[in-house]
Amino acid sequence: MKITADTESCVSSGQCVLLAPGTFDQNEDDGTVVLLTEEPGAGEEEAVRQAELTCPAAAIRLSGA
């Protein structure tokens, strides 16, 4: 599974960080998503899928899932 995050679409809700803190963070300046890794760590795949589904701006995309 490969993850991409569109910072232009991000509305800074932080749901991705709450669901998968090992994969996502937020920019300190504007709160937009920061992708910590393009592939989720062991055991974080389901949380990343939930982050994609929960994102109100659809800024998170998964491929090869």
pLDDT on residue 64: 86
pLDDT on residue 55: 97
Q: Which residue ranges form the domains of the chain, and what is each CATH number?
A: 2-57 (3.30.70.20)
pLDDT on residue 38: 94
pLDDT on residue 65: 59
Tens-digit pLDDT profile for residues 16-65: 999 999 999 999 999 999 999 999 988 899 999 999 999 999 999 999 85
Phi, psi of 31 (to 5 degrees): 80, 0
State the pTM of this model. 0.92
Q: Per the structure block, which two tokens stand in for 43?
A: 């055991």
Q: Residue 30: which of 13, 51, 52, 55 has the closest Cα?
A: 13
